[in-house]
Chain A
Amino acid sequence: SAVISQKPSRDICQRGTSLTIQCQVDSQVTMMFWYRQQPGQSLTLIATANQGSEATYESGFVIDKFPISRPNLTFSTLTVSNMSPEDSSIYLCSVGVGPGEQFFGPGTRLTVL
Chain B
Amino acid sequence: GEDVEQSLFLSVREGDSSVINCTYTDSSSTYLYWYKQEPGAGLQLLTYIFSNMDMKQDQRLTVLLNKKDKHLSLRIADTQTGDSAIYFCAESGGYNKLIFGAGTRLAVHP
Residues on A close to B: CB < 8 A?
A: 31, 33, 41-45, 48, 58, 92, 94, 96, 99-107
Contact = CB atoms under 8 A, between A and B. Distances in A.
Given A42-B88, A100-B31, A104-B42, A48 B100 contact: no
Interface in B31-61: 31, 33, 35, 41-45, 48, 50
Contacts of B88: 42-43
Given A100-B31, A102-B45, A107-B42, A43 B50 contact: no
A48 B48 contact: no
B85 interface: no
B42 A100 contact: no
A10 to B, nearest CB: 10
Contacts of A107: 41-42
